[in-house]
Amino acid sequence: MTPSPILESHRSFNFSSGPAVLPVEVLEQVRNELLDYRGTGMSVMEMSHRCKAFDEILEQALAGIREALSIPNDYEILFLQGGASFQFSMVPLNLALPQQPVDVIHTGNWTKMAIEEMKRLTVAHVVSHSTESTNFATLPDLTHYHPAANTSYVHLCSNNTIEGTQFKTFPKTGAIPLVCDMSSDIFSRPLDVSQFGLIFAGAQKNIGPAGVTLVVIRKDLAERAAKNLPTLMQYRSQIVAGSRYNTPPTFGIYICGLVMNWLKAKGGVTAIEKANAEKAALIYDVLDHSAGFYDSPVPQSVRSPMNLVWRIAPGASNQEALEAAFVKEAASQGLHELKGHRSVGGLRASLYNAQPRAGVEALASFMREFARKNG
Amino acid sequence: MTPSPILESHRSFNFSSGPAVLPVEVLEQVRNELLDYRGTGMSVMEMSHRCKAFDEILEQALAGIREALSIPNDYEILFLQGGASFQFSMVPLNLALPQQPVDVIHTGNWTKMAIEEMKRLTVAHVVSHSTESTNFATLPDLTHYHPAANTSYVHLCSNNTIEGTQFKTFPKTGAIPLVCDMSSDIFSRPLDVSQFGLIFAGAQKNIGPAGVTLVVIRKDLAERAAKNLPTLMQYRSQIVAGSRYNTPPTFGIYICGLVMNWLKAKGGVTAIEKANAEKAALIYDVLDHSAGFYDSPVPQSVRSPMNLVWRIAPGASNQEALEAAFVKEAASQGLHELKGHRSVGGLRASLYNAQPRAGVEALASFMREFARKNG
């Protein structure tokens, strides 16, 4: 096998589920501006979060996000901290109404974490449409789903990073807000934001570096919260302060803005959706034509183009040895982070927006050769 | 006036109170490693927070912090998110005991914020030793201070960023934990950590970029918290998870580690304390020998070497015009962010560890010339 072209440029192919690969053009720009941001004589890291240069950085990042997803004006965009996991507390503390349960569509590890946090906070909730009996390899059909009238809100995870499933459409929940954890597929496809009450996402998959949490919230929902919540946990106060109640993660926000510029130059979410589908097809095609050597547990209709999971030779006595060999040999070829999540085992490749097609082609080629040698 | 040397190298002198100047050597290293961290073929921003390379980055940052302040082994070091302002909620939620008030030594804007958050959360507290009647220009004498026996903990701010005051010693509070907000002077001087129950600091002044919050906590205190607090708000769970309950701000932690290496190479906190005192003396000397043109409101005994505040020609009819002209002319000479905080007005220069002495010399020279022209 010939060495991958990226090894020559000292860049690996990185299939990490997050923090994950960023566009090399963005990293180059960050490098070029690192000691002197556009003639200011400072790094963005060194700037006051209230100076004019950072005002512009923040405004541009917000404008880029609003444009990328055509976010309506009655929605606010917030840059928060704490990751998506912190939203598992913040959303119910702000949006759950007394004696009105949250309806959690339970499809994997991340909804499990959301449920556990609601239990801890004693927030009333119901767990519905669970696909746990399939080890979360499938997704429920929500075509005819209507939440009960007294539901505070519906909680959904659009893309299950660990289990490799993705909702292709979203339920229409009417007057009941739909809250969506989109950490691992936001900005990967067009979206009708008006279907949602609140969307949240950790930045470190499709937006920027870890340490920034994106929240898109329909403004009226922020008024549900009790005023004695900690200030920084109220969407209300974060909206009033424009994400600057205190010092935000300035450098991360700057990079999110650069990623939005990159996405726009690539043709936006419509073009990236097509590119993502093509990249994913390269790998799913190998899985489906490996004569059983590789096995995807996920039905075709709900397969994620972001996180692809598979096993080698299911049932074979040397399955785990083969999977370990796969990870090791791939790394020696410059193909990194292909081990599945520790909770499910197996293998996983994350093919976010910034994953270069060349990396996916190199992986497909490696997979075919590995099957030929070991099948 | 000759142009400052730093303008020639396209770096400004930046006196921002935070986010603030970082060591140029650190920024250069970040730049050099940005696309390929030490042969991994990835940026630190792109790495899984659970990969081996990041394990080492985290361990080295923790070790650097422990060494710099000689932190005893019964204290845990945590990298959290949300800034020092979030600690204004997190500390009382974890450490306040039922019916046992927190004693807040009230010395400025940041203790005011801490008090407001306790009010919001209905945490029992008493406000003591307030210096509000002096506009917080002074600090209380705590030589003979003993907190009441039923005190949950004592809250103190070591350095008041806005008012320019600094505690030179800390009270001995015996069995009652002393909690200290050290955002603006941690790592600027040696410290006996064993005097404290908990120390917190936003990174963006003396440690690294915004988006990382450092917490040093005596481990046993983490057990005070109710177990139904949000997981990410419990020091207990953050300790168990080694700051990796979920994805931490990886890139910021990496830079904190580099800053610790830089501090060690400079001789550690003992050497930096001396350098800081010398830098501050350059400016205080101008203030005290300006025949009243400049006026420092802070008594010498409590003046901060980190944040220096002053007014021009107090009482003069053109005071505000002169202060505005000072800020504008300084900026034209490459001396930036010298405006005082909006709540107090006047002028301020922040001289954190990474502020180069050349910048302070340039500022002192500018101040003398400005006084000569306008005095």
**By the CB < 8 Å criterion, does B211 face chain A?**
yes
- Determine the Cα–Cα distance for residues A76 and A57; give it in Å rounded to an integer: 17
In a domain, B365, yes or no: yes
Please write the tens of the pLDDT for every residue from B240-273. 999 999 999 999 999 999 999 999 999 999 999 9
Asked casually if ipTM beats, i.e. exceeds, 0.85, the reply is yes
Residue among B356, B348, B353, B362 nearest B17 (CA): B348
CB contact under 8 A, A247 and B36: no
Are B249 and A211 spatial neighbours (Cβ–Cβ below 8 Å)? Answer: yes
**By the CB < 8 Å criterion, does A343 face chain B?**
no
In a domain, B11, yes or no: no
Domain end position, chosen among A265, A281, A310: A265
**By the CB < 8 Å criterion, does A53 face chain B?**
no
In a domain, A65, yes or no: yes
Write out chain A residues lying below 8 Å of B46, CB-based.
14, 16, 19-22
Are both A169 and A112 inside the same structural domain? yes
User: Is B165 in a helix, a strand, or coil?
Assistant: strand
Amino acid at A50: R
- Determine the Cα–Cα distance for residues B119 and B122; give it in Å rounded to an integer: 5
Write out chain A residues lying below 8 Å of B333, CB-based.
none
In a domain, A1, yes or no: no
Angle at A83 between CA A78 and CA A87, to 5 degrees: 70
B178-181 and B154-157 as β-strands: parallel, antiparallel, unpaired? parallel
Are both A257 and A282 inside the same structural domain? no
Are both A172 and A112 inside the same structural domain? yes
- DSSP code of residue B132: G
- DSSP code of residue B242: T
- Determine the Cα–Cα distance for residues A18 and A357; give it in Å rounded to an integer: 18
Write out chain B residues lying below 8 Å of A43, CB-based.
22, 27
Provide the domain limits for residue A258: 27-265
- Determine the Cα–Cα distance for residues A347 and A311; give it in Å rounded to an integer: 6
- Determine the Cα–Cα distance for residues A110 and A201; give it in Å rounded to an integer: 12
B159-160 and B165-166 as β-strands: parallel, antiparallel, unpaired? antiparallel
Scan for tokens 């340490």, then name that residue: A211
In a domain, A61, yes or no: yes
In a domain, A294, yes or no: yes
Q: Looking only at Cα atoms, what is the longest distance across chain B?
A: 63
pLDDT tens string, chain A, 375 residues long: the values are 444 444 445 789 999 999 999 999 999 999 999 999 999 999 999 999 999 999 999 999 999 999 999 999 999 999 999 999 999 999 999 999 999 999 999 999 999 999 999 999 999 999 999 999 999 999 999 999 999 999 999 999 999 999 999 999 999 999 999 999 999 999 999 999 999 999 999 999 999 999 999 999 999 999 999 999 999 999 999 999 999 999 999 999 999 999 999 999 999 999 999 999 999 999 999 999 999 999 999 999 999 999 999 999 888 899 999 999 999 999 999 999 999 998 899 999 999 999 999 999 999 999 999 999 998
**By the CB < 8 Å criterion, does A109 face chain B?**
no
Average pLDDT over residues B304-328: 95
Are both A164 and A184 inside the same structural domain? yes
- Determine the Cα–Cα distance for residues A35 and A170; give it in Å rounded to an integer: 44
Residue B7 clears pLDDT 90, i.e. is over it: no
- Determine the Cα–Cα distance for residues B299 and B168; give it in Å rounded to an integer: 13
- Determine the Cα–Cα distance for residues B222 and B213; give it in Å rounded to an integer: 17
A-contacting residues in B 241-270 (Cβ below 8 Å): 245-252, 255
Scan for tokens 């020279």, then name that residue: B365
Domain end position, chosen among A265, A290, A312: A265
Are A177 and A120 spatial neighbours (Cβ–Cβ below 8 Å)? Answer: no
Query: The whole model's pTM is what?
Result: 0.97
Residue B292 clears pLDDT 80, i.e. is over it: yes
Q: What radius of gyration, in Å, describes the C-alpha atoms of chain B?
A: 21
B187, two tokens: 């790592």
Are A213 and A200 spatial neighbours (Cβ–Cβ below 8 Å)? Answer: yes
CB contact under 8 A, B246 and A41: no
- Determine the Cα–Cα distance for residues A131 and A98; give it in Å rounded to an integer: 28
Are both B106 and B230 inside the same structural domain? yes
The DSSP result for B186-233, as a single string, is TTSS---GGG-SEEEEETTTTTSSTT-EEEEEEGGGGGGS-TTS-GGG
User: Is B178 in a helix, a strand, or coil?
Assistant: strand
**Chain A closest-CA separation from residue B36 CA (Å):** 6
Question: Among A117, A202, A230, whose Cβ lies nearest the Cβ of B121?
Answer: A230
Residues of B forming the active site = 110, 181, 205
CATH for B198: 3.40.640.10
As to burial, measured by CB atoms within 10 angstroms (0-12 exposed, 13-18 middle, 19+ buried), residue A98 is: exposed
Backbone angles phi and psi of B306, in degrees to 5: -90, -50
As to burial, measured by CB atoms within 10 angstroms (0-12 exposed, 13-18 middle, 19+ buried), residue B215 is: buried
Residues of A forming the active site = 110, 181, 205
In a domain, A14, yes or no: no
A126-135 contact pairs (CB < 8 A, 24+): A126/A101, A126/A102, A128/A103, A128/A104, A129/A105, A130/A106, A131/A106, A131/A107, A132/A106, A135/A163, A135/A297, A135/A344
Confidence band, pLDDT 50/70/90 cuts, at residue B10: confident
Are both A58 and A90 inside the same structural domain? yes
User: Is B161 in a helix, a strand, or coil?
Assistant: coil
Instruction: Please give the share of chain B, as a percent, with pLDDT higher than 90.
Output: 95
Are both A230 and A282 inside the same structural domain? no
The pLDDT of residue A9: 59
Write out chain A residues lying below 8 Å of B83, CB-based.
81, 232, 246-247
The pLDDT of residue A313: 87
Where on the phi/psi map is residue B315: left (φ > 0), alpha (ψ -120 to 50), or beta?
A: left
Are both B190 and B101 inside the same structural domain? yes
CB contact under 8 A, B20 and A232: no
Give the E-state strand segments of chain B in sequence order. Answer: 13-14, 75-80, 102-105, 125-128, 154-157, 159-160, 165-166, 178-181, 198-202, 213-218, 294-295, 307-312, 335-336, 347-350
Are both B174 and B83 inside the same structural domain? yes
Instruction: Please give the share of chain B, as a percent, with pLDDT higher than 70.
Output: 98
**Chain A closest-CA separation from residue B287 CA (Å):** 25
Residue among B271, B280, B375, B258 nearest B325 (CA): B375
* Nearby residues of A25 by Cβ (< 8 Å), 6 or more positions away: A262
Are both B238 and B294 inside the same structural domain? no
Are both B285 and B251 inside the same structural domain? no
The pLDDT of residue B343: 87
Give the number of domains in chain B. 2
Instruction: Give the residue from chain A lying closest to B120, CA to CA.
Output: A228
Domain end position, chosen among B215, B244, B265: B265
Amino acid at A269: V
Confidence band, pLDDT 50/70/90 cuts, at residue B2: very low
B325, two tokens: 């002209």
* Nearby residues of A218 by Cβ (< 8 Å), 6 or more positions away: A74, A75, A177, A196, A197, A198
The pLDDT of residue B277: 98
In a domain, A334, yes or no: yes
| Strand order, beta sheet including A347-350 | A294-295, A307-312, A347-350
**Chain A closest-CA separation from residue B143 CA (Å):** 33
Q: How many CB pairs below 8 Å do chains A and B form together?
A: 223
- Determine the Cα–Cα distance for residues A205 and A352; give it in Å rounded to an integer: 7
Write out chain A residues lying below 8 Å of B39, CB-based.
10
**By the CB < 8 Å criterion, does B228 face chain A?**
yes
The DSSP result for A301-325, as a single string, is GGB-SSEEEEEESTT-TTHHHHHHH
Q: What radius of gyration, in Å, describes the C-alpha atoms of chain A?
A: 21
Angle at A79 between CA A78 and CA A84, to 5 degrees: 100
The pLDDT of residue A277: 98
- Determine the Cα–Cα distance for residues B57 and B258; give it in Å rounded to an integer: 9
Residue among A189, A200, A205 nearest A256 (CA): A205
CATH for B326: 3.90.1150.10
Q: How far is CA B27 from its chain centroid?
A: 19
Residue among B61, B126, B123, B117 nearest B258 (CA): B61
The pLDDT of residue B9: 59
Are both B246 and B297 inside the same structural domain? no
Average pLDDT over residues B279-290: 97
The pLDDT of residue B326: 98
Cα-Cα-Cα-Cα dihedral sign, residues B260, B189, A46, B76: positive
The DSSP result for A210-250, as a single string, is TT-EEEEEEGGGGGGS-TTS-GGG-HHHHHHTTT-SS---H
B341, two tokens: 């905080």
CB contact under 8 A, B46 and A81: no
